[in-house]
A and B are shown apart, each in its own frame.
Chain A
Amino acid sequence: MTSARSIIAKLSPLLACLGLLAVWQIAALWLDTESFPTASHALQTVPQILGDPEQLLNILDSIRRMVIGFSLAVLISIPLGLAMGRSARVSAFFNPLLMMIYPVPKAALMPVIMLWLGVGDASKTLVIFLGVSLPVIYHSFQGAKAVEEKMLWSGAAMGLNGLQRMVRIVLPAALPEILTGCRTGLVLALITMVTSEMIARQSGAGNILFNAMDMAQYDTVFAMIIIIGALGIVLDAAFDKLRWRLVKWAEPHQEILLGAS
């Protein structure tokens, strides 16, 4: 049963993209300056960049750091956030620390981190890690705090010990909230990835972007913006799909009902 409306709903992101490109194209033609290439020019440059092995390796470097930074952050932040949400003592211990780190732009720490860890992978991965950690900790904390106590009691009555309740009740119950944090974290990972490479120019997508900027290669600048933007959109969409699969039991309205009977 695909109605016209659902087809439009599915196509709407694509239409939005096409609309944006059209506006860009018209604006660029109209302004006609060298620093603002047309959308078609920028799009034509994309395959050139991706076709160049050196550039491609640079971009893959970025993605690798992002994946490592994001994964480490999630692996550490979820247990920490959950523990904080369920234990006043753990929360009292970590809260002041997090309150201090929270408002600091993580990229602003980059110079100090570079001083200690150099300009290589370690610094950049650490900044990504920090950027991702806070939203994931925060949402895991909120999710764990909101778990209905009677649910934990039910588990305790069935014989689950403290750790089992944490893993088998608090974790799944807080999962929708945790994944919301992870989604924010994913976008932040992309942002901190680019910023870190802007500050420590050595490799990566941000490096290509800002080098091209310095050399006034505006086609490349805009092509890189398209590549990074597309990467963000694809990652976010993929993650949202995963999220939906994992927590469809919590979504307020959809049609599992029809399939079940």
Chain B
Amino acid sequence: MQVPLRPEIDTGTGATSGERARAMIEIASVSKRFETSGRKSHLALSDINLTVDDGAFVSILGPSGCGKSTLLYIVGGFVAPSEGVARMKGTTITGPGPDRGPVFQEFALFPWKTVLGNVTYGLRQQGVKRGEAEAQSLRLIEMVGLKGFEHFYPKELSGGMKQRVAIARTLAYRPSVLLMDEPFGALDAHTRTRLQNDLLNIWERDRKTVLFVTHSVEEAVFLSDKVVVMTRAPGRIKQIVDIDLPRPRIRAELLLDSHYQKYVVDIERMIDDGRDDAEHS
């Protein structure tokens, strides 16, 4: 019943499919060069063009150090591109804002706040009353499986628990775009699967736009509308793959689905090709 045997592949321009509304994020000819301690500069990103539609779930895959985090930081407004522009709803991004919620690879929790204090922080900042903010936060903490740990400090949590607090902290203030940098990287397989499902539920319910960095091809295919495959440094977009699998996606069914399997194998092959390129050059 599903059509494409060979996944459709966009040219690197990131042309919109045109079916769904307008672009939420546009990244146009973005390059990023870091000045490294005087000697020579390092080109982290080169000529990135990508459009993320409103409500789309887009994953970024690529070898370590190819600039995935840097790309998220540019969209977040934390880092300015050396060339090109990033736009949000047509407006050039010049700084961070609560419309874009980052979940950092390093968690970056506030160590002087408890789990509850961390999750409540953004809501309190937006002027939500303490009682209401705490009620909402407690629901999120329960969702990420940390019920009973509300009053723990970050240093008393494991890596995976910190990661879940970081996710809850960002979800709490309801950004319309989520910028997630390997958010499930430190989790065990079971929790990972659960949180993937929870994230999909939230995404389907709230129609958030998600830009999601991961090292797991399965995860990217399972979650995404589009998978962006990047090359080794300098990071360029190698290919953009539209994932044409029906939603809602049920993990158990999908794992047996031949289209799903084909996407996974094809994308893995693309990443391997990239590795060969790097070795030969």
Contact = CB atoms under 8 A, between A and B. Distances in A.
B125 A158 contact: yes
A250 B95 contact: no
Contacts of B173: 158
A157 B125 contact: no
Nearest to A250: B111
A150 B104 contact: yes
Interface in A221-261: 247, 249-250, 252, 256-257, 260-261
Interface residues of A, number: 22
Main secondary structure of the interface of B (DSSP, over half): loop
Interface stretch (B26-34, B132-140, B150-158, B210-218): B150-158
Given A158-B122, A158-B125, A256-B153, A153 B108 contact: yes
A249 to B, nearest CB: 5
Contacts of A260: 151-152, 156
Given A153-B96, A157-B102, A173 B112 contact: yes
B108 A154 contact: yes
A175 interface: yes
A169 interface: yes
Contacts of A261: 148
Nearest to A253: B155
Interface in B81-107: 95-98, 100-102, 104, 106
A167 to B, nearest CB: 13
B153 A158 contact: no
Contacts of A151: 108-110
Contacts of A158: 98, 121-122, 125-126, 173
B97 A157 contact: yes
Contacts of B113: 249
Nearest to B78: A153
A151 B106 CA distance: 9
Contacts of B55: none
A150 B101 CA distance: 12
B14 interface: no
A158 B97 CA distance: 7
B155 A156 contact: no
Contacts of B156: 256-257, 260
B116 to A, nearest CB: 11
A250 B112 CA distance: 7
A175 B112 contact: yes
Contacts of A247: 112
B159 to A, nearest CB: 15
Nearest to A246: B112
A62 B36 CA distance: 53
A173 B154 CA distance: 13
B273 to A, nearest CB: 33
B76 interface: yes
A125 B98 CA distance: 47
Interface string A161-175: 000000001001101
B104 A249 contact: no
A148 B169 CA distance: 17
Contacts of B175: 157
21 contacts: A148-B108, A150-B104, A150-B106, A150-B108, A153-B73, A153-B76, A153-B102, A153-B108, A154-B102, A156-B96, A157-B175, A158-B121, A158-B126, A159-B126, A173-B112, A247-B112, A249-B153, A250-B155, A257-B152, A260-B151, A260-B152
Given A153-B104, A157-B170, A250-B155, 17 more contacts: A148-B106, A150-B108, A153-B73, A156-B78, A156-B95, A156-B96, A157-B100, A158-B122, A158-B125, A159-B122, A169-B110, A173-B112, A247-B112, A249-B111, A256-B153, A257-B152, A257-B156
Interface of B: 73, 76-78, 95-98, 100-102, 104, 106, 108-113, 121-122, 125-126, 148, 151-156, 169-170, 173, 175
Q: State the 8 A-B residue pairs at the shortest beta-carbon distance, nearest first.
A: A150-B108, A156-B96, A158-B122, A172-B112, A249-B153, A157-B96, A150-B104, A151-B108
